[in-house]
Structure 1
C-alpha cells in the first residue's frame, strides 16, 4: 500500500518535523489524560472541513496545556456557513481577534470560546484533507 504524500513541499517538511512527543517519553504521552475535554465540533460544523490548531492540537505532541479557548482553521469559502452554524448552535459571534476572523462564544459562558481562523491559501485544501 502506497502512502500518499502532500504535493506542497512546505506541508511535507512540516510533517517530517512534527515528531510526536519531542522531549516527552512515549510512555508519558500514552498514559496522560486530557485535563480539558474538547467539545464535539463536528456536531456543529457538520460538513465544513476544519482542523484543530493551537494549544488543544498540541496534545498530540506535548503534555497537555490549560487553555481558555479552542482554535480551529477553516477555508474562507466556509466562513458564512460556519458563522450560521455556530449561531444556530447557541453561540454568539464576537469581534475578530488579531489572528482569528471571528470568535464563537457559548451563551452560558461556561464552555469554550472558539477562535476561528479563516484562510484561503492554496495549500489549505490539502492540509485540511
Structure 2
C-alpha cells in the first residue's frame, strides 16, 4: 500500500502513545483469528509451501552498491510464503544511509514523492514502478541488514525472524497475516530465532508471537490444541 501514512513498524511500536493502540489492535486480531481458525481451511497446503518470483521487480543492487539494504513488505515476504499481489516495492535502509540512497535514486532518474509517516520516502522508477524507501529507527536493523538472504529472484531480503519482527511492530492486519503464514511454514530453528529477537526487542509481544505461530500451523492443517 502506498500512502503518506505508511509506517514501518519500529517507530509505531516504540511510541508510548501509539504503542498501546498497536498492541491492542494486534491482540484483538489474534483473538478473533484464533477463534475462527479451522485446520487446513483455505489455501491448499502445496500452495502455502510454494516459493515463487512470478513478478520481476527492479533490482536496486547496482544503484545501492556499498549500502546495506533489503527488500521488505509483500515482495520480501515471498521468500517465506506464497507470493501475493502488491502495487509497490518496499526496501529498507538505515536512517544514516538514507540521504545517500535518496541522492542516488534521484540521479538515476527516479521521481521523488512524498515522505512516509514512519520514516522514509516514496519514489517511482523511470519505468513507473512505485518504490518506497523505509528508514525505521530500529536498533536491530544494522544486524538484520548484515545477514540478508536472497529470494527466488535474487533480491536481498531480511532473514525471516527480522521480517516477522518488523511486521509485528507495524501491527497492521495484512502484516500480521503475513507473519502467521511465514511462521506456519517455518522450521523450528527459524521460529526459535524469532523468539530470541522478540525477547531482546519486543518482549511484550512474545505471547502474540506464539499465537501467530499457531495460526500459521492451523492454516497448514495442524489440529487445535
Q: State whether TM-score is above 0.5.
A: yes
Partner of 1:16: none
Looking at secondary structure, tell me which structure has more helix per residue.
2
The superposition leaves residues 53-81 of structure 1 with CA deviations (integer Å, 9 ceiling, x where unpaired) of 10001111221112111001100110110
CA gap 1:121/1:90 in 2 versus in 1, 3 angstroms: same
Partner of 1:53: 72
1:24: how far off? Answer: 4.0
Partner of 2:154: none
Conservation of the 8 A alpha-carbon contact between 1:53 and 1:72? yes
CA gap 1:96/1:24 in 2 versus in 1, 3 angstroms: farther
1:26: how far off? Answer: 8.3
Please report the RMSD computed on the Cα atoms of aligned residues, expressed in angstroms: 2.2
Looking at secondary structure, tell me which structure has more strand per residue.
1
Aligned pair count? 103
Which 5+ residue runs of structure 2 have no aligned equivalent?
Answer: 1-43, 147-225
- The alignment's TM-score, normalised by the length of structure 2, stands at 0.42
Partner of 2:130: 113
The superposition leaves residues 93-121 of structure 1 with CA deviations (integer Å, 9 ceiling, x where unpaired) of 11023345101112342xx2110110232
- The alignment's TM-score, normalised by the length of structure 1, stands at 0.69
Query: Rg: which structure is higher?
Result: 2
Partner of 1:72, secondary structure, is strand
Paired with 1:122 and 1:64, the residues of 2 have a C-alpha distance of: 29
Paired with 1:119 and 1:47, the residues of 2 have a C-alpha distance of: 19
Which 5+ residue runs of structure 1 have no aligned equivalent?
Answer: 1-22
Find runs of 4+ consecutive structure 1 residues off by over 6 angstroms: none
CA gap 1:43/1:105 in 2 versus in 1, 3 angstroms: same
